[in-house]
Amino acid sequence: MVEIKSVVPGSYADKKGIRAGEKLISVNSHPIRDILDYRFYVCEKTVTLTLDTREITIKKDEYDDIGLEFETFLMDKQESCRNKCIFCFIDQNPHGMRESIYFKDDDTRLAFLFGNYVTLTNVPDSELERLVKMHISPVNVSVQATNPQLRKMMLNNRFAGRVLEQMRILADGGIDLNAQIVLCKGVNDGSELERSLYDLEGLVPALKSVSVVPVGLTKYRKGLYPLEPFSEEECRQVVETVERIGSDFLKKHGTRLVFASDEFYIRAGLPIPSADFYEGYPQLENGVGMIASLCEDIDDEIDFTLGEEPDTHISRRVSVVTGKASYKTIVEQVEKICKIWYNIDCRVYEIRNDFYGENVTVSGLLTGQDIIAQLKGKELGDLLLIPRNALRHQGDCFLDGVTVEEMERALGVSVLPSADGSELLHGIIGD
């Protein structure tokens, strides 16, 4: 039973007289527990709603929304993580941040709705069967290791050893899967990484992609499991392993399947592969192929824009901020743009991550206070472009709580988030 918070004016539910405060018990005789039940059963052309006081039937087009809204997006509380992972980034946050920063999410529903990665350690087989029944696909799984004992150790959870079995249930039920391996030096790398990748191969064709990303290590690891960053040579070894196995998979299955994150290539001093290498960027949100995608977007957008006979005499002064990992690439792309729009003065500023520490170099973990502190008094022009992925999902503020508006006031410049190469280009040229 779920209480209805509001009803969309003019919707099917509104026209049937359903009002806020009524309680939804079932849809077409199916009890409603959460958003997955609701979305699945409300898709029918004929929907019978059992409320706490009456029963109402709605006829509509298939998949049309009926206009009910609930207290929370999931309709019940979000599932928190039951693991105590040795690499957990949330445990590496300083004290005194927003309460939501410390919430550890491990909710399979969010894996489907927003692409989150989940460990499956808090998912009973009955829930896996429900996902199969509703064809909730894809499901993104944070694997780390397929060796049962090693995974139990890494997640500090005695129930963590069944991940391959759980993924097999989903795969046999027709569910597409994506996997993630957070690589920790001396723990799940080397032969354990090879074992994990070849174990996961057994889930093809349901398994669509695997990302291998380095563990994020902040300066707040006191009292936590001792982990060290990968050296340049160790990063090279990781890339070699992943590319070698990926080439093997390509021959056998027609897909590389496994990809190392951009961060491994950058730390190894290796060139980023071309856009074609990434097979449509299935792991972009995990930092896999982001640089190739950015460069490809900019090249495509330059060609498109030049085809429309743009004004290349535009005169502007703008600035761009980025993290250490992508600084060289951003400089190269800005220079390319400014050779065409030659009256634009665009400066690129590399922001050092003082908040989390020097080992954190990706743009997505930049904080507002670091950007403000390091750009105070600098020549910023009329517009400051920031990476959109440094903002929370809601897009309203950075991880440290600093808002875009606060940054604008502190630096005296308009701030514009950009998410991809196209947005970066048009932010610079101002059209």
> pLDDT tens across 38-64, in order?
888 888 899 999 999 899 999 999 889
- State which amino acid sits at residue 343: N
Q: Class for domain 90-284, per CATH?
A: alpha beta
| CATH code 3.80.30.10 region(s) in the chain | 90-284
- State residue 34's pLDDT score: 79
CA distances from 393 to 96, 272, 389, 396 (A): 20, 27, 8, 8
Residue 37 confidence (pLDDT): 81
* Distance from C-alpha of 249 to C-alpha of 253, rounded to nearest angstrom: 6
At residue 115, the pLDDT reads: 72
Q: Which residues pair with 319 in a beta bridge?
A: 347, 384
Positions in the chain whose pLDDT score sits under 50: none
What pLDDT is attached to residue 75?
Answer: 65
Residues 229 and 185 sit within 8 Å (Cβ to Cβ) = yes
Burial 206-226 (b: 16+ CB within 10 A, else e): bbbbbbbbbbbbbeeeeeebe
The answer to whether domain 294-429 has CATH 3.40.50 is yes
* CATH architecture label of 2-70: Roll (2.30)
Find the length of the chain. 431
Supply 340's token pair.
């065409």
Q: Where in the chain is the domain with CATH 2.30.42.10?
A: 2-70
Q: What is the pTM of this model?
A: 0.84
The predicted structure's pLDDT at residue 199: 98
Per cent of the chain over pLDDT 70 is 93
* Range list for CATH 3.40.50 in the chain: 294-429
Q: What share of the chain is helix, strand, coil (3-state, %, to 5)?
A: 40, 20, 45
Q: In DSSP terms, which residues pair with 259 in a beta bridge?
A: 211
Select from 145, 139, 70, 150 the least CA-distant residue to 106.
139
How much is the pLDDT for 76? 63
Segment 206-227, tens digit of pLDDT: 999 999 999 999 999 888 999 9
pLDDT recorded at residue 98: 66
pLDDT of residue 113: 63
Our measurement of the distance from residue 305's CA atom to the centroid of its chain's CA atoms, rounded to an integer in Å, reads 29
Q: DSSP string spanning 351-403?
A: PP-TTT-TT---GGG--HHHHHHHHTTS--TTEEEEEGGGB-TTSSBBTTS-B
